[in-house]
């Protein structure tokens, strides 16, 4: 897995340290995002022992800027996994269906073996899905796990209706366009009011960072000031554009951000 990646609260991948013992991560090795040379070295050092590589479609670490894949990165990762016989598993829980209705791998142009979706597929209903190639179904069926909400009819119906509406209304296109409109504001406003900042990551899932803000207090202040004025800027997480957002909504939020920056300067 990639260093700093968050794949959930399980001990093998959580960015926290409390309650984690060495055995939890004894069989996990990591490499740096966009460093295909480091991944190649891991395969050489653990020849024949790497069962799979699990990654997010772009890098969205905890409390840090988002990073997009470098040109050719995903092509190289996919080819290396095929060559070494390791599964390529994509955690698309956060970004899934926001970059492409077919999954983020479609947007970036590669083919994983298994993809995990959640959250967006049911538009808020509690449903998740692990999808993949036919040849892995038999092995997956031998893994026991269960849950209280499995086979919930309402959640299944919500997912089907969500797909229908997203395709009908071009929800992915709306989120991209509104994100692009939003992205035009923070850098210019930050420079104007003496608080340099920028949005990182895809337009539909931006992550805001401020210069000279190592303790993250400055972005907390900005988020609080914006919230007081009627918009919500999360200080420590990706923002999620919605197909319900309009140009007026985005412009209003940028107005709130400008008023917040004025208050911070004064």
CATH number at residue 58: 3.40.640.10
At 21, list the tokens.
């013992």
- Report, as an integer, the average pLDDT of 22-48: 96
Q: Is the pLDDT of residue 67 over 70?
A: yes
Same domain? 100 vs 135: yes
Sheet containing 87-91, strands listed edge to edge, beginning at the edge strand earlier in sequence:
52-55, 87-91, 114-117, 129-132
Tokens 């930050």 found at: 190
Residue 180, domain CATH:
3.90.1150.10
Q: Is the pLDDT of residue 190 over 90?
A: yes
- Domain of 111? 22-169
Task: Give phi and psi for 200, each to the nearest 5.
Answer: -120, 165
Q: Is the pLDDT of residue 29 over 90?
A: yes
Q: Is the pLDDT of residue 187 over 80?
A: yes
Same domain? 153 vs 258: no
Same domain? 72 vs 164: yes
Same domain? 74 vs 117: yes
Same domain? 87 vs 186: no
Report how many domains make up the chain.
2
Q: Is residue 13 part of a domain?
A: no
Q: What percent of the chain lies above the pLDDT cut of 90?
A: 83
Q: Is residue 1 part of a domain?
A: no
Q: Is residue 14 part of a domain?
A: no
Q: Is residue 165 part of a domain?
A: yes
Same domain? 43 vs 129: yes
Closest by CA to 89, choosing from 34, 45, 32, 50, is 50
pLDDT band at 8 (very low <50, low <70, confident <90, very high): confident
pLDDT of residue 221: 96
Q: Is residue 248 part of a domain?
A: yes
Same domain? 117 vs 181: no
- Report, as an integer, the average pLDDT of 104-132: 93
Report yes or no: 157 and 125 within 8 Å, Cβ to Cβ: no
pLDDT band at 113 (very low <50, low <70, confident <90, very high): very high
Tokens 């538009």 found at: 123
Query: How far apart (Å, rounded) are the C-alpha atoms in residues 224 and 50?
Result: 45
Same domain? 149 vs 35: yes
At 4, list the tokens.
């700093």
pLDDT band at 248 (very low <50, low <70, confident <90, very high): very high
pLDDT of residue 10: 87
Query: How far apart (Å, rounded) are the C-alpha atoms in residues 83 and 20?
Result: 33
- Report, as an integer, the average pLDDT of 107-124: 93
Q: Is residue 10 part of a domain?
A: no
Among residues 126, 143, 169, which one ends one of the domains? 169
Task: Give phi and psi for 2, each to the nearest 5.
Answer: -85, 140
Q: Is residue 2 part of a domain?
A: no
Among residues 169, 186, 210, which one ends one of the domains? 169
List pLDDT tens digits, range 211-232. 999 999 999 999 999 999 999 9
Same domain? 130 vs 180: no
Same domain? 93 vs 225: no
Same domain? 252 vs 144: no
Query: How far apart (Å, rounded) are the C-alpha atoms in residues 33 and 13?
Result: 15
- Whole-prediction pTM value? 0.92
Helices (H), 184-246: 186-192, 217-228
Report yes or no: 238 and 206 within 8 Å, Cβ to Cβ: yes
Q: Is residue 4 part of a domain?
A: no
Same domain? 212 vs 157: no
- Report, as an integer, the average pLDDT of 52-73: 96
pLDDT of residue 149: 67
Among residues 109, 143, 169, which one ends one of the domains? 169
Q: Is the pLDDT of residue 233 over 90?
A: yes
């Amino acid at each position: 897995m990639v260093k700093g990646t968050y794949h959930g609260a399980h001990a093998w991948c959580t960015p926290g340290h409390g309650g984690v013992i060495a055995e939890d991560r004894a069989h996990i090795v990591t490499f740096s995002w966009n460093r295909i040379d480091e991944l190649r070295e891991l395969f050489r050092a653990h020849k024949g022992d790497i069962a799979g590589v699990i990654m997010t479609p772009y890098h969205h670490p905890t409390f840090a800027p988002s990073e997009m894949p470098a040109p050719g990165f995903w092509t190289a990762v996919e080819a290396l996994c095929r060559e070494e016989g390791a599964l390529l598993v994509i955690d698309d829980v956060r970004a899934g269906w926001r970059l492409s209705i077919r999954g983020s791998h479609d947007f970036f142009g590669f083919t994983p073996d298994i993809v995990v979706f959640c959250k967006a597929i049911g538009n808020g209903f509690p449903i998740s899905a692990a999808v993949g190639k036919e040849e892995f179904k038999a092995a997956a069926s031998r893994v026991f796990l269960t849950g209280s909400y499995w086979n919930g009819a309402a959640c299944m119906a919500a997912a089907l209706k969500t797909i229908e509406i997203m395709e009908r209304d071009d929800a992915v296109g709306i989120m991209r366009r509104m994100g692009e409109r939003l992205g035009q504001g923070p850098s210019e406003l930050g420079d104007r009011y003496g608080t340099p900042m920028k949005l990182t990551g895809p337009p539909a899932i931006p992550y805001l960072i401020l210069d000279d803000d190592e303790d993250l207090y400055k972005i907390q202040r900005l988020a609080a000031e914006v919230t007081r004025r009627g918009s919500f800027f999360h200080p420590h997480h990706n923002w999620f554009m919605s197909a319900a957002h309009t140009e007026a909504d985005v412009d209003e939020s940028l107005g709130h951000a400008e008023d917040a920056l004025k208050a911070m300067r004064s």
